[in-house]
């Protein structure tokens, strides 16, 4: 048995946990530089706001319908996620944190009424963190994911599913006839692993709901589509094909890209941005114990702004695989200098680490400069300081340390306080 615990409208729920006045109001959380909606409350969805919709297209709803827009506070969301996941772990003996707001729980060996247990854990998460959740259960991860969708949809009282499936849904506990009715009421594109393209192909073949998909022979699915979709169908039929991952797999590439708060033109400003991006990517690489064999740096203008357009990237091979921030930053800056052209209003830059390798395969000294055997210790110290005192507490000098405001910094004019990680932002209750 597996369970999937998922935070409802997670980013919005994190904000509402500290600002109760936002409850029952339409709220959207905006992406970096306040560009588009990346999270919406149910009230905002009812206004017709789409995921990814640019803020300028729905700004008028702030006056017309009381829409509240907030800048993304990822520091707050990450900490609230850790708190939610630690409580959700009490549901069963094993846990896989799938995303910032989703967690699979292995419930093998857990006895008793699983639905009642799910409601108890859900109430505990709500009481201890303020985050409302939905919990889906099933004999496979795909069915647990589907059950979670059903639980959250039934909670919105849309009429698609029985009210008793709201908040916590256990597909394994349902009679066969009731399960068939629920699967028949669920569109095939709601299945985990069925994207838009596959869903359209299935619809063209007359397969519109999950029940119809489950009734197809897996061998036929493999022959006409792929082994990946066959695995999904077998999971829907109750045959486990996807196990729990105790640790996330190492990334095959690491990217750090960002749109600027305002257009920038100078090489000096781009150098500062690329330095910070390469440093951030290097820190992520060290956390997964890897080495990078190549680095890609990119810059481009905005196609939505008037003026001359320019987009360019370059991939630079490392002399040897490394995780050293200074080596990676130097490489990124050299690449930037090669592709930079004056006279353009740059809107975005980024760094990608490619050809990633397992650092445990080689001797640790291989990623260090031969004349500086202490470089690995220096990088470890850098990471510890930034982990303890906050990201970018210690930076390389080319990131800009003159105390001036960075013109390329992400615009976050609607940012809320970091309530749980910054003493200065700690909420104060007054009598």
Structural domain 254-399, CATH architecture: 2-Layer Sandwich (3.30)
Report the pLDDT value the prediction gives residue 406, as an integer from 0 to 100. 66
Where are the CATH 3.30.70.270 domain residues in the chain? 1-186+417-431
Report the pLDDT value the prediction gives residue 223, as an integer from 0 to 100. 92
* pLDDT classification of 248: cutoffs 50, 70, 90: low
Locate tokens 């669920």: which residue?
186
Give the list of residues 6+ apart from residue 364 with CB closer than 8 angstroms, or none. Answer: 376
- Cβ atoms of residues 217 and 207 within 8 Å: no
Three-state DSSP at 270 gives helix
Nearest CA to 256 out of 284, 229, 228, 286 is that of 284
CATH of domain 1-186+417-431: 3.30.70.270
Q: What is the mean pLDDT of residues 87-98?
A: 93
Q: What is the mean pLDDT of residues 47-69?
A: 93
Where are the CATH 3.30.1490.100 domain residues in the chain? 254-399
Interatomic CA distance for residues 377 and 383, integer angstroms: 10
DSSP strand E in 172-289: where? 254-264
Report the pLDDT value the prediction gives residue 263, as an integer from 0 to 100. 87
* pLDDT classification of 292: cutoffs 50, 70, 90: very high
DSSP strand E in 280-339: where? 290-301, 311-322
212 has pLDDT over 50: yes
pTM assigned to the model: 0.79
């Amino acid at each position: 048995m597996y369970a999937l615990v998922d935070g409802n409208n997670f980013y919005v729920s994190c904000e509402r946990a500290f600002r109760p006045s936002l409850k029952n109001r339409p709220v959207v959380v905006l992406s970096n530089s306040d560009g588009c909606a990346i999270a919406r409350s149910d009230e905002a969805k009812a206004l017709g706001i789409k995921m990814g919709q640019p803020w300028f297209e729905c700004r008028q709803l702030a006056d017309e319908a009381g829409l509240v827009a907030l800048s993304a506070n990822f520091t707050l969301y990450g900490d609230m996620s850790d708190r939610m996941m630690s409580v959700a772990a009490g549901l069963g003996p094993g846990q896989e944190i799938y995303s910032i707001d989703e967690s699979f729980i292995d419930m093998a060996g857990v006895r008793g009424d699983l639905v009642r247990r799910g409601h108890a854990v859900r109430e505990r998460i709500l009481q201890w963190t303020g985050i409302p959740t939905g919990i889906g259960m099933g004999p496979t991860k795909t069915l647990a994911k589907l059950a979670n969708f059903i639980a959250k949809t039934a909670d919105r009282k849309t009429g698609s599913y029985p009210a008793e499936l709201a908040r916590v849904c256990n597909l394994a506990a349902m009679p066969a006839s009731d399960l068939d009715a629920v699967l028949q009421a669920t569109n095939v594109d709601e299945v985990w692993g069925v994207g838009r393209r596959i869903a359209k192909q299935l619809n063209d073949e007359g397969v519109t709901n999950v029940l119809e998909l489950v009734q197809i022979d897996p061998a036929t699915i493999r022959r006409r589509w792929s082994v990946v979709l066959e695995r999904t169908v077998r999971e829907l039929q109750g045959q486990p094909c996807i196990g729990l991952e105790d640790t996330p797999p190492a990334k095959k590439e690491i990217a750090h890209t960002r749109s600027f708060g305002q257009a920038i033109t100078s090489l000096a400003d781009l150098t500062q941005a690329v330095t910070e991006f390469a440093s951030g990517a290097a820190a992520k690489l060290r956390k997964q114990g890897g080495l990078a064999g190549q680095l890609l740096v990119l810059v481009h203008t905005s196609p939505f702004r008037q003026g001359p357009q320019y987009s360019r990237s370059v991939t630079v091979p490392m002399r040897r695989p490394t995780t050293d921030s200074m080596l990676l930053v130097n490489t990124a800056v050299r690449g930037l200098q090669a592709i930079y052209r004056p006279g353009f209003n740059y809107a975005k830059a980024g760094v990608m680490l490619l050809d990633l390798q397992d650092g445990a395969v080689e001797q640790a000294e291989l990623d260090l400069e031969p004349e500086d055997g202490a470089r690995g210790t220096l990088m470890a110290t850098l990471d510890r300081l930034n982990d303890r005192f906050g990201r970018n507490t210690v930076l390389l000098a080319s990131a800009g340390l003159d105390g001036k405001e960075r013109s390329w910094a992400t615009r976050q004019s609607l940012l809320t306080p970091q309530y749980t990680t910054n003493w200065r932002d700690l909420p104060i209750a007054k009598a």
